[in-house]
């Protein structure tokens, strides 16, 4: 490849970025890095009606959280700017004019109402209306009006759009880097609007003009844009830019967990997992939860996303961003849709959480501790993390699972008490307290002390360990007893056992 690799992520700020969009950005990023190319962020905001305030900032914040960095873009500038289409408004009209002058595009004056009524008429006859080679000859456009009439209407300020004049019966053979050859007959395609009388181009025109002016070498984007490829190809041809036309790769869809259809925002609500990278507050106040706020680590999120649609050709599943850059190839992107698996997403997070040092996890957990008003010391937090991190999926699991390290049990598992504790244990527990009082509160010594106690009194281990555990934790869960007691310390442990003994004395066995 002798051309400089320049790829872009070109989202429209119409709402929060779905994880499918993050994956598109990621694959572009990996491809750019792999080929020592440039990665560009361009905001495609020509559709003013769908513009959502805050969406652009959200996109930048989310990708920054993921560790996806750009070389040029709306937020950092660069030699091909501006990188926001609304700021490039003055550029596009000349290109629309050029296409009209060449006969590749035409003015159309049909009003929205007229087109709507045609659509309904067609529907009534069980047909679909399309503005195309078959219908354009009977509609109000510069192909049916005289040159003079057209000019008069424009001068009179009659609203118009510019439409692409789709050629008749051409068989286009297009190449997609993922899908291979795609063949289309142009007679089946409609005359898409390229430019509107509000002075703004549509996506199609602005996208082609900008990709050309920004010298984009590869367009890597979602599968939903594959149907636009013939039009885009014909635009490059009409502008006589085919020599430098980018290569195209259309990424497979992200599917629902059951594989039936595209993953949507509603699936997240319905099945209880996030589909957005970060929390998004809709203008009407609705909250869409994000992976970040759920407790996902960006490295785990990126690793999981990378494998949704791409495979390394080996069994390896854990990859750092640098390894992904190293290994990524478009050839290994799958053609078929990739099923999002929320359980697998959690698995990835667990793997990455385990790899964090206790210090790193302490930093992540500090805000959770503050938010919940939990009083503790960094040393204690550190120890709790050490005990619980193996089993945690999210940082907050350590606090939720280990809440008894920070506060006395609010209640006891009565069912477990009934099933597993005998009233005779009460007496032994009282005696054990004496032994514990003279014991050094370190894990192994505590375990030995309790084992010895059981032997001396010919008790099964459970007869002592289970009541002590319920006394300290409230339930039968948790790590080794000695470890729990070491972290709680002598005073707190003995206090809890004493409180529990009183509880047992009242208990209806
Ligand atoms: N603005 C389009 C989108 O939001 C970009 C499609 C493309 O990459 O060409 O998906």
- Span 141-157, pLDDT tens digits: 999 999 999 999 999 99
If 0-12 CB within 10 Å is exposed, 13-18 middle and 19+ buried, where does residue 169 land? exposed
- State the average pLDDT for the chain: 96
Q: Assign 404 to helix, strand or coil.
A: helix
- From the CB of residue 189, how many other CB atoms can be counted at a distance below 10 Å? 21
Q: What is the pLDDT of residue 279?
A: 96
Cα of 272 from ligand 1 centre, angstroms: 28
Ramachandran area for residue 158 (φ above 0: left; ψ -120 to 50: alpha; else beta): beta
- From the CB of residue 466, how many other CB atoms can be counted at a distance below 10 Å? 19
Long-range contacts of 87-94 (CB under 8 A, 24+ apart): 88/206, 88/210, 89/199, 89/200, 91/209, 91/213, 92/195, 92/200, 92/201, 92/205, 92/206, 92/209, 93/195, 93/199, 93/201
The more confident residue out of 194 and 48 is: 194
Cα of 222 from ligand 1 centre, angstroms: 8
- Give the position, in ligand 1's atom list, of the atom nearest the Cα of 8: 8
pLDDT above 90 (res 369) = yes
Q: What is the pLDDT of residue 130?
A: 97
Q: What is the pLDDT of residue 509?
A: 86
pLDDT above 80 (res 2) = no
Report the percent of the chain where pLDDT is more than 90.
95
Mean pLDDT calculated for residue range 472-501 = 97
For the entire predicted model, the pTM comes to 0.93
Contact 273, 394 (CB under 8 A): no
Ramachandran area for residue 474 (φ above 0: left; ψ -120 to 50: alpha; else beta): left
Long-range contacts of 59-62 (CB under 8 A, 24+ apart): 59/11, 59/13, 59/17, 59/21, 61/278, 62/16, 62/17, 62/22, 62/276, 62/277, 62/278, 62/290
Cis peptide before 151 (omega within 30 of 0): no
Of residues 89, 93, 265, 490, which has the active-site annotation?
265
Contact 27, 220 (CB under 8 A): yes
Mean pLDDT calculated for residue range 209-221 = 98
Q: What is the pLDDT of residue 234?
A: 98
Contact 470, 505 (CB under 8 A): no
265 catalytic? Reply is yes
Cα of 12 from ligand 1 centre, angstroms: 7
Q: What is the pLDDT of residue 249?
A: 98
Q: What is the pLDDT of residue 284?
A: 84
Q: For ligand 1, pick from 7, 8, 9, 11 the residue to mutate: most ligand atoms within 8 Å of CB.
A: 11
pLDDT above 60 (res 465) = yes
Q: What is the pLDDT of residue 201?
A: 97
Report the percent of the chain where pLDDT is more than 70.
100
Residue 43: beta bridge partners?
84
Give φ, ψ of 152 to 5 degrees: -60, -45
CA distance 478 to 469: 8
Give the model's confidence band at 265: pLDDT under 50 very low, under 70 low, under 90 confident, else very high. confident
- Give the position, in ligand 1's atom list, of the atom nearest the Cα of 9: 8
Q: What is the pLDDT of residues 12-48, one digit of tens each?
A: 999 999 999 999 999 999 999 999 999 999 999 999 8
Q: What is the pLDDT of residue 403?
A: 96
Q: What is the pLDDT of residue 293?
A: 95
Contact 126, 94 (CB under 8 A): no
Long-range contacts of 429-438 (CB under 8 A, 24+ apart): 429/464, 429/467, 429/468, 429/471, 429/497, 429/500, 429/501, 429/504, 430/501, 431/457, 432/464, 432/468, 432/497, 433/494, 433/497, 433/498, 436/490, 436/493, 436/494, 436/497, 437/490, 437/494
């Amino acid at each position: 490849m002798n051309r400089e690799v320049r790829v872009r992520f070109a989202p429209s700020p119409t709402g929060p970025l779905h994880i499918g969009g993050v994956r598109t950005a990621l694959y572009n990023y990996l491809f750019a890095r792999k080929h020592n190319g440039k990665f560009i962020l361009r905001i495609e905001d020509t559709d003013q009606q769908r513009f959502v305030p805050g969406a652009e900032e959200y996109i930048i914040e989310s990708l920054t959280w993921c560790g996806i960095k750009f070389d040029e873009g709306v937020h950092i500038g660069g030699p091909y700017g501006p990188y926001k289409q609304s700021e490039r408004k003055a550029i596009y009209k000349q290109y629309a004019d050029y296409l009209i002058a060449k006969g590749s595009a035409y003015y159309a004056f049909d009003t929205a109402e007229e087109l709507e009524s045609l659509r309904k008429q067609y529907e009534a006859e069980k047909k679909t209306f399309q503005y195309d080679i078959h219908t354009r000859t009977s509609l109000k456009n510069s192909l049916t009006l005289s040159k003079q009439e057209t000019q008069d209407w424009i001068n009179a300020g009659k609203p118009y759009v510019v439409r692409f004049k789709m050629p008749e019966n051409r068989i286009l053979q297009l190449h997609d880097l993922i899908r291979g050859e795609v063949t289309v007959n142009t007679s089946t395609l409609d005359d898409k609007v390229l430019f509107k009388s509000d002075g703004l181009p549509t996506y199609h025109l602005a996208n082609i003009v900008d990709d050309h002016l920004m010298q984009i070498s590869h367009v890597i984007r979602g599968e939903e844009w594959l149907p636009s490829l013939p039009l885009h190809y014909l635009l490059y041809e009409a502008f006589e830019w085919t020599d430098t036309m980018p290569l195209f790769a259309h990424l497979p869809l992200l599917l629902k967990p059951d594989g039936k259809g595209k993953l949507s925002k509603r699936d997240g609500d319905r099945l209880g997992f996030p589909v957005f990278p970060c929390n998004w507050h809709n203008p009407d106040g609705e909250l869409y939860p994000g992976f970040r706020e759920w407790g996902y680590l960006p490295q785990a999120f990126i690793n999981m996303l990378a494998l949704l649609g791409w495979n390394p050709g080996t069994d390896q599943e854990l990859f750092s961003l640098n390894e992904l850059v190293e290994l990524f190839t478009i050839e290994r992107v799958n053609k078929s849709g990739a099923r999002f698996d929320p359980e697998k997403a959690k698995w990835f997070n667990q793997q990455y959480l385990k790899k964090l040092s206790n210090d790193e996890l302490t930093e992540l957990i500090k805000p959770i501790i503050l938010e919940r008003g939990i009083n503790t010391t960094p040393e204690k937090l550190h120890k709790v993390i050490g005990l619980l991190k193996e089993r945690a999926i999210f940082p907050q699991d350590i606090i939720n699972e280990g809440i008894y390290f920070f506060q006395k049990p609010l209640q006891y598992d009565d069912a477990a008490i009934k099933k597993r504790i005998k009233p005779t244990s009460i007496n032994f527990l009282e005696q054990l307290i004496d032994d514990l009082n003279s014991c050094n509160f370190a894990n192994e010594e505590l375990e030995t002390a309790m084992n010895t106690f059981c032997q001396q009194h010919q008790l099964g281990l459970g007869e002592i360990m289970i009541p002590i555990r319920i006394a300290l934790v409230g339930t039968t869960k948790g790590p080794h007893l000695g470890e729990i007691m070491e972290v709680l310390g002598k005073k707190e442990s003995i206090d809890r056992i004493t409180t529990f003994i009183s509880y047992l004395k009242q208990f209806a066995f």
